[in-house]
Amino acid sequence: MDRTLLAGERVLWEGQPIAGLVLGPKDFILIPFSLFWTGFAVFWNAMAWKDGSSLLFQLFGLPFLVVGFFILFGRFWADAYIRRRLFYRVTDQRVMIVRQGPFAELKSLDIQKLPTLELDERSDGRGTIRFGSCVSGQFGGRAQILPVLDTVPQFYAIENARAVFELIRQQFH
């Protein structure tokens, strides 16, 4: 990430999202829903193939089965995969989010021009810092199945979130 620094820019903090399985509040809805969805898709496909229904009828259920398995299992793998390739940096001038690998991306926000700064902190000190606000949508604007890909730039699921939040706030002055 060193080539992303501007001349004279100093790094104040670097980090990554936590590794492993991360569950959020919406998982209390998504997990039961995905169990129901996948169970129904398995039943549908088993009955369609067992009864010797038409090929069109048999194939109709397969996309629902694939979506069910993704929502039930795949989204956790995809989330962990993306987080392993995310790097965050706070400098004296900017906040940066670097995603490596396929679909590599660099987001750089001038620290003096951040629209808003939001902190969601857990009792263990981990949390998410959002650089902007998203208030539309059923889940407070964050209805994505993969929260790490939220449309609002963020430092997602980091350790010592409050300390990083305060460090960024200090740069405003």
> Tell me, which fold does domain 10-19+86-170 have in CATH?
PH-domain like (2.30.29)
Domain residue ranges in the chain? 10-19+86-170, 27-80
Tell me 113's DSSP state.
G
* pLDDT given at position 108: 93
CA distance 121 to 105: 26
Average pLDDT over residues 56-68: 92
* pLDDT given at position 137: 46
CA distance 3 to 152: 24
Task: Express as a percent the part of the chain with pLDDT over 90.
Answer: 64
Confidence of residue 3 (pLDDT cuts 50, 70, 90): confident
Distance from the Cα of residue 133 to its chain's centroid: 15
Helix ranges (DSSP H) in the chain: 27-50, 55-60, 62-69, 75-84, 161-170
105-110/118-121 β-pairing: unpaired
* Predicted TM-score (pTM) of this structure: 0.80
* pLDDT given at position 97: 95
* pLDDT given at position 90: 96
